[in-house]
Amino acid sequence: MIDVKHLTENPDLYRASQRARGADESLVDQMLSADAARRSSIAAFEELRAEQKLFGKRVAAAQGEEKQALLAEVKELASRVKAAEAEANEAQAELDRLQRLFPNLIEDGVPAGGEDDFAVLKTVGTVRDFAADGFTPRDHLEIGELIGAIDMERGAKVSGSRFYFLKGVGARLEIALMQMGLDLAVQNGFIPVITPTLVRPETMQGTGFDVEHDDEIYKLERDDLYLVGTSEVSLAGYHADEILELGNEPTRYAGWSTCYRREAGAAGKDTRGIIRVHQFNKLEMFIYTTQDQAAEEHRRLLDWEEQMLAKVELPYRVIDTAAGDLGMSAARKFDCEAWVPTQETYRELTSTSNCTTFQARRLNIRERLVNEDGSKGGTRMVATLNGTLATTRWLVAILENHQNPDGSVTVPEALRPYLGGLEVLPVL
């Protein structure tokens, strides 16, 4: 959640952020009013508490009728103190409610607008000319069936629509991709983690998801647990209510997990194949760092994602996501979109978000500061960031971009060692 003090000192900054998101600017004024009410009610409560303490001393020193009169006043004062405390608590609860509704403050330079208002930062690689190669490209599902990699029919039979089986070279290809990503992460100081995929509501909400109204989240009502759509959730909750000793080095985790999304808002979209499914695997980078290092770490996350795309030899573009298309927690998000030949467009394969201190405030994650003399100082909120290194959807772009006329697929050179030297995924 946002820093209320920062908002009260810079309300126009937050109005501009809300305006760029296409969100409710009046929420700023509601926050200002709620904070003023909270401050006023707390001051009134503390004043009455101080008066109550003074009365206590006078009662202790009084005798006879004077004491009886004072006791009556004390009783009336106690009632006023109780009412003032209740009012202060209500004011704090209202501020907390509004604070949880307020999205993160966007960074300078984020494009204003909605889903279609992104800025293309760069385009990398050459889109393959299949006409020049003498054949019409097949889509990833047709290829996956020819090489025995994807079985959507039995996935639907077993689990319903938007489920699938990866088998044979399909299963091997995904594991190879994830392992290559994990090796890259470890080389860059990430700690590998296999995370829980069921989390408590406070963890899901603490990461920035609306557990009451988000139709994309699977909930287990009986156990009051939620299935995660990304290991970001589990990794964000990993250090909840802790003080980290960061120093000058970020703490980096690489979470390997299965992820679940209801895709409730995707009716009729991407119904063919494995582009938009209910269950998939993902390797997610998650970083805890200092507030002043967050922007630089964000650039590093993007660079590592681009290194992975280069390894699998995919043409792609990098976009700066528009404010209205950012999630609740993100101050800025870069997406890497790979070219999908049969759709003749770029589709998202990775994204990386700088969540600044937004998640840390919700989850109460701080860092220990160090004084100039080396002694321990106070604490402040950390910054958190996330980014994807590999996921099941990558198979779509790999199969389509590297297909051959007969339906076989040439394995990108960097992936071959992870497939036992296999150079081609053959048609069965």
Which sequence positions are flagged as catalytic? 261, 276, 348, 351, 393
Q: Comparing C-alpha atoms, which of 292, 295, 288 is closest to residue 365? A: 288
DSSP 119: E
Residue 339 DSSP SS3: strand
> Tokens at residue 136, please?
């019409």
DSSP 254: E
> Tokens at residue 89, please?
């608590």
For 41-60, b/e burial (b = at least 16 CB within 10 A) is bbebbeebeeeeeebeeebe
Amino acid making up residue 302 = L
What are residue 243's DSSP bridge partners? Answer: 366
List CB contacts of 124: < 8 A, sequence separation 6 or more.
306, 309, 310, 315, 316, 317, 318
Q: How long a stretch of residues is the chain?
A: 428
Q: Kindly list the distances between the CA atom of residue 42 and the CA atoms of 37, 55, 83, in Å, as whole numbers in the listed order.
A: 8, 20, 12
Do 427 and 408 touch, CB atoms closer than 8 A?
A: yes
